[in-house]
Chains A and B, each alone.
Chain A
């Protein structure tokens, strides 16, 4: 297999484009894809500071690397989730990446905030992934607002977005489909713009980019992700993709072109402010304060039971 650009031996096969690249040309191709996504979708401009949500995995570290190479001003945001050795290793890799490149990084330890994911899940009997999603959304919004940035970038890739789209379509979650876009504009004074610059690139491509750029990312998966619904959707899409390359890309791109404008018209009224923390909320209190309230009350009940 030869590189599409320079005809040298190829290392990366990009099936959805029926192309292959050598190492050097793949890096150029990948960075151009990200830059094109940023410009075409008007994600942010060169004079804005971009907060990058970084987990320590391949996607977010690859994203941070590309944004740095492209010359954007970035600050990393890492949530240490408190999920045992997995979280410790993820935090170590994120901090090492930032230190090696001299990049600013904000780290928040959820354990110190009294809401490590095992605690949130354990006290509320919710699936860990549900509690994790609520906590992440809350801290991303809060910390981006407090930092004063106007944009928050996440490492969601083509596979993440196609799997999410499949899940939303299978359940016809109209309100979710109305918000499934690589650029989410703020609908509350404490929201910032949320963007997904990797939405055109597959999970294989982000992993290959991390590998050829020698990014030391966390290879282990979150122990809570075993059996996650998203993996079922990804598997279904990958089986189709193996027979019909380009399906995932067309599924997402055609939704954004044809479906999204229709669903976006049905968007709910903007959120109110949470009576507890002031962050956006669709009820009297936001999902995170409601979760914390549940944890605090269970914790107090257990403490009382232990004393009696």
Chain B
């Protein structure tokens, strides 16, 4: 799967199909700190991302 990280605008790939929770674990991201978006759809932790999917992982934590 192709992953775009925002706001960094960085792209990376993970092979195979995985639950969202597993993708976040692999990327060392805490649940509740990012939105996982596929097209126009928000994905919960238990949703499955297929190997051929493109998703966006958008940070929701702001500070300053």
Contact = CB atoms under 8 A, between A and B. Distances in A.
Interface string B15-41: 000000000000000111101010001
B28 to A, nearest CB: 12
B46 A1 contact: yes
A230 B63 contact: yes
B60 interface: yes
Interface residues of A, number: 38
A204 B63 contact: no
Contacts of A11: 41-44
Contacts of B44: 1, 10-13, 20
Contact of A242 (B6, B31, B58): B31
A221 B46 contact: no
Interface residues of B, number: 22
A11 to B, nearest CB: 4
> Is the contact region of chain A dominated by helix, strand, or loop, or is it mixed?
helix
B46 A219 contact: no
Contact of B58 (A129, A163, A207): A207
A29 interface: no
A197 interface: no
Interface string A249-275: 000000000000000000000000000
A230 B64 CA distance: 6
B62 A57 contact: yes
A42 B64 CA distance: 28
A238 B32 contact: yes
B60 A207 contact: yes
Contact of B35 (A15, A59, A132, A204): A204
Nearest to B45: A13
Given A1-B44, A13-B44, A58 B60 contact: yes
B7 A221 contact: yes
A108 B33 CA distance: 32
Given A208-B42, A219-B7, A221-B7, A15 B60 contact: no
A154 interface: no
Contacts of A208: 35, 42
Q: What 8 A-B pairs are tightest by C-beta distance, nearest first? A: A225-B64, A207-B60, A231-B63, A230-B63, A11-B42, A13-B44, A228-B63, A228-B64
8 contacts: A23-B42, A159-B61, A203-B60, A221-B7, A225-B64, A230-B63, A238-B33, A239-B30
